[in-house]
Amino acid sequence: MPACQMTPTRYEDTVEGYWQTKVLIKDKKRSKSYIIHMNMNARIDKNLRLDVMTQFGTHLASLVLNQDKVKYLVVRQKRFYKGQSTPHALKPLISMPLDPKLIYNILFDKPITRKDWKCKQSIDKFLESCKSEKEKLSLNWTGRMMHRKTVHIDHPTANLQINFFSYNQTLQKKKNLFKLNPPKNFKVLNIH
């Protein structure tokens, strides 16, 4: 196979896309690990949608981020969360503080330019790592080959390993892709 076919995809100039991933979550506090599948649709810095499923395809959660507003539902708990995108917005979903807006950086390989963050690039100018001592959060990109990459997110309370295995330059064709409303029997909670 020619080397050019194995060249990693550069996402820096991409404005939207659809990614399929498999995520290993290690909850350090509870000493539990589990694997989920996540479909991600994004328009950089505008809209984001995550749909989370079990390995067998059962719907677990969905999240939308529009500008600074985040909404998500957790199916098993019958809860719908809404509020501002902050590091604590995803606490009910994952056991670590991770601002949903950082998912754009992860998807599009953009360095995090916020205060207290430091990022490094590899020799071939791919984003390699970003770290915040203040937030006790580190992100590392590895295993780049074509559309595939792995992003490791580490925090003292949890660890995420996101394995990206497919990418499409166009968004999924879903009605109301970036809209999410609470189902009738779900409890609506505000994120603080």
pLDDT band for 159, please (50, 70, 90 cuts).
Answer: very high
Both tokens assigned to 98 = 């991770």
- What is the average pLDDT across 3-32? 87
pLDDT for the residue 2: 46
pLDDT band for 1, please (50, 70, 90 cuts).
Answer: very low
- What is the average pLDDT across 9-27? 93
Q: Is pLDDT at 5 greater than 80 in this prediction?
A: no
Average pLDDT, the chain: 92
pLDDT for the residue 3: 47
Nearest to 151 by CA among 171, 126, 132: 126
Q: Tens of pLDDT along 25-79?
A: 999 988 999 999 999 999 999 999 999 999 899 999 999 999 999 999 999 999 9
pLDDT band for 4, please (50, 70, 90 cuts).
Answer: low
| Structural domains in the chain plus CATH codes | 16-181 (2.50.20.10)
% of the chain at pLDDT higher than 90:
80
- What is the average pLDDT across 110-131? 95
pLDDT band for 88, please (50, 70, 90 cuts).
Answer: confident
pTM assigned to the model: 0.92
Q: Is pLDDT at 170 greater than 80 in this prediction?
A: yes
- The CA distances from residue 112 to 58, 84, 117, in Å, are 33, 19, 6
List, as one string, the DSSP characters of the chain: --GGGGPPPP-TT--EEEEEEEEEEEETTTTEEEEEEEEEEEETTTEEEEEEE-TT--EEEEEEEETTEEEEEETTTTEEEEEE--TTTTTTTSSS---TTHHHHHHHTPPP-STT-EEEE-TTS-EEEEEETTTTEEEEEEEEETTEEEEEEEETTEEEEEEEEEEESS----TTTT-----TTPEEEE--
Question: What pairing do the DSSP bridges indicate for beta strands 32-43 and 16-27?
Answer: antiparallel
% of the chain at pLDDT higher than 70:
97
What amino acid is encoded at 172 in this protein? Q
- What is the average pLDDT across 121-126? 93
